[in-house]
Amino acid sequence: MGFADLLNEVGGFGRYQWLHVTLISFPGLLMASQNLLNNFVSGIPDHHCRLPTNHSIYNLSLSQVDERQLLRVFIPLDSSGNRFDRCRRYVEPQWQLLAANSSANVSFVKTEECEDGWTYDHTEFEATTVSEWDLVCSMRPLKQMIQTIYMGGVLAGAIVYGGLSDRFGRRTVLIWSYLQVAVLGCSCAFSPSYTVYCILRFLCGMAVSGVILNGVSLKVEWIPTKTRTIVGTLTSFFFTFGQMVLAGLAYWLRNWRTLHVVVCAPHFLFFAYSWWYSESARWLVLNGKSEEALKNLHRVARINGKPEMVDKITLEVLHSHMNKEIESSRSTFTAYDLLRTRGMRRISICLIAVWFSTSFAYYGLAMDLQKFGVSIYVMQLIFGAVDIPAKLLALGMLSFLGRRITQATCLFLSAVIIFANIFVPTEMQTLRTTLACLGKASTSSSFTTVYLYTGELYPTVIRQTGMGFVSTMARVGSMAAPAVLILDEVLPALPSVVYGGAAVLASGFACFLPETLNVPLPDTIEDVEEKCDELLIDGGVVSKEGVVLKEMKDAEKAGLHTL
């Protein structure tokens, strides 16, 4: 007997679970916007040097001079010869270029940097951080730094909030994270300077980790075993549709400050209704709060239409179902415990590889998708749209093939697509874009799988610490992906080789993870060790009845160790 049996007795996946899962998943519509928000709030509009304020056009009337002709006088063409240079202007106006059919040679004319600032085109963006703080030309790296700092906050949040939720509870940290996103996200819109904006984005990134990690755990710990797969996959569609919602909002709101407020303000609503959530009964019992856990179970039973279970489920019944977990919880756990035992060590090392490579390949492909050659808003729609069939396919695979095969397949498929794109000529833009979309879909499916898989692999007593620990590698991967592009100068295909190679290695690591399809959630580290004993050291699998093959025992006696 275990806690999963109690969930079935109070209604299984009943009315409470429907409300609980929906309310926790709904913020995903806007939470997905946070990671991609920089594409729009820091979009780079067309620009050129501002014309000198003291220039004179002598006896020419401005009405007689076409704007493009006037720009030719002050702004040189770039290296392509098709558009005006964005970062240079002539030291002296070249009036001879106004003459019809002028073929004057200006290649040796002196130029200078944009001493008076820049003029921005407002057709695609009304205002962005780039146009407001002139993050162009020599200052352009600061634009990329915004996203790097934000992802650093997400990384820090995964570490900090993962441990805090195991100590103070999933519900408490989740409620705080909603408020933090709402307050700091809206504050970003009123940032008076670049430095203040970066600080606020870092703190907002921390809160995003708190929302995602605790939302996943709070959902999983109230869901019966048999419904975890379909619920986990379907709720991930909130993030998918959130990407398309962002495209619509960004198209409608072309000012970065307004977009920030609209994307972040709804989290005040999420904060308000999150007080309705019930804390994880598993966590409460394992932290010596059995009476509160019992009240939550009774509440769930009443909402699910099972009032008769209120009298049947007592503290004695609750403790009898979770006796082994309670004994285990008397010990304190830290991140060290994720690597202390053989089974936990294997799981943690494999998940580190999977999380890192999934994010690494995802952002590597996302950079290739910038070459669509279409509107940035249309591109964002495509980003979201390709996830729909991919996640539906992942749902079927998770339900029938299991987590391990699905995880390994998604990673391996993304590697194959990345490698295939190396051999496609650059002029075949449509084919390259199609392959990039398929690769992005594969990595999205890998993300969906690993979120569900990780929550099922780690035991309740250290689940959030584990989730925070391994998911930090996803943030490291997202921060490392841009740096690999430098290898393009050595060999154009080298970045793709690195991205694809990482995905191939991770797919191999995924094969060493234990299967969790239709298996109750582990509550103790001992449960994890028993589950991992079902994997052979050489990669085979023992029977589902839990009989450990003699070869494993012999290997252990000989002093051999697995991951």
∠ CA 146-149-150 to the nearest 5 degrees? 85
Place of tokens 């990780």: 454
Instruction: Determine, yes or no, domain membership for 471.
Output: yes
Mean pLDDT of 36-56: 79
- Do residue 17 and residue 82 come from a single domain? no
- Do residue 407 and residue 518 come from a single domain? yes
Note the pLDDT of residue 195.
93
- Structural domain of 406: 335-562
Mean pLDDT of 55-77: 62
Which helix H or strand E contains 378, and what residues bound it?
helix 376-385
- Do residue 503 and residue 362 come from a single domain? yes
User: Is the pLDDT reported for residue 557 higher than 60?
Assistant: no
pLDDT digits (tens, 9 = 90+) for 249-260: 999 988 999 999
Mean pLDDT of 192-218: 90
The DSSP call for residue 114 is -
Instruction: Determine, yes or no, domain membership for 396.
Output: yes
- Do residue 339 and residue 326 come from a single domain? no
Domains: count for the chain: 3
Domain stops at, among 283, 315, 331? 331
Instruction: Determine, yes or no, domain membership for 127.
Output: no
- Do residue 467 and residue 498 come from a single domain? yes
Q: CA 238 to CA 391: how far, in whole Å?
A: 11
pLDDT digits (tens, 9 = 90+) for 284-303: 887 778 888 888 888 888 88
pLDDT digits (tens, 9 = 90+) for 337-389: 677 777 888 888 999 999 999 988 887 776 554 455 667 888 788 878 888 88
Res. 21 pLDDT band, cuts 50 70 90: confident
- Residue 423 vs residues 12, 373, 419, 435, 505: alpha-carbon distances, Å: 51, 21, 8, 11, 21
Cα distance between the two ends of the chain: 30
More confident residue, 166 or 128: 128
Handedness of CA 427, 429, 431, 435 (dihedral sign): positive
Note the pLDDT of residue 447.
86
Mean pLDDT of 533-562: 42
- Do residue 456 and residue 349 come from a single domain? yes
- Do residue 351 and residue 416 come from a single domain? yes
pLDDT digits (tens, 9 = 90+) for 504-531: 999 999 998 888 888 877 877 777 777 6
Instruction: Determine, yes or no, domain membership for 361.
Output: yes
More confident residue, 199 or 42: 199
Among 463, 453, 451, 452, smallest CA distance to 524 is for 463
Domain stops at, among 86, 120, 154? 120
User: Is the pLDDT reported for residue 474 higher than 80?
Assistant: yes
What percent of the chain is modeled with pLDDT above 70?
A: 82
Mean pLDDT of the chain: 79
Q: What CATH number is attached to the domain comprising 238?
A: 1.20.1250.20
Instruction: Determine, yes or no, domain membership for 492.
Output: yes
Note the pLDDT of residue 204.
93
Note the pLDDT of residue 539.
42
Res. 281 pLDDT band, cuts 50 70 90: confident
pLDDT digits (tens, 9 = 90+) for 444-471: 889 888 888 888 888 877 776 787 778 7
Note the pLDDT of residue 492.
73
Note the pLDDT of residue 547.
39
> Is 117 in contact with 50 (CB distance < 8 Å)?
yes
Other beta carbons within 10 Å of 462? 23
Res. 536 pLDDT band, cuts 50 70 90: very low
Domain stops at, among 297, 331, 365? 331
Note the pLDDT of residue 532.
66
Instruction: Determine, yes or no, domain membership for 128.
Output: no
- Do residue 61 and residue 152 come from a single domain? no
Handedness of CA 426, 427, 433, 435 (dihedral sign): negative
Note the pLDDT of residue 372.
59
- Do residue 323 and residue 425 come from a single domain? no
User: Is the pLDDT reported for residue 17 higher than 60?
Assistant: yes
Instruction: Determine, yes or no, domain membership for 233.
Output: yes
Among 362, 448, 370, 439, smallest CA distance to 25 is for 448
User: Is the pLDDT reported for residue 333 higher than 70?
Assistant: no
Residues 6+ apart with CB under 8 A from 345: 338, 339, 563
Instruction: Determine, yes or no, domain membership for 126.
Output: no
- Do residue 183 and residue 288 come from a single domain? yes
Among 263, 256, 165, 274, smallest CA distance to 217 is for 165
Least confident window among 12-16, 77-81, 456-460: 77-81
- Do residue 489 and residue 356 come from a single domain? yes
Question: What is the reported pTM?
Answer: 0.77
- Do residue 161 and residue 285 come from a single domain? yes
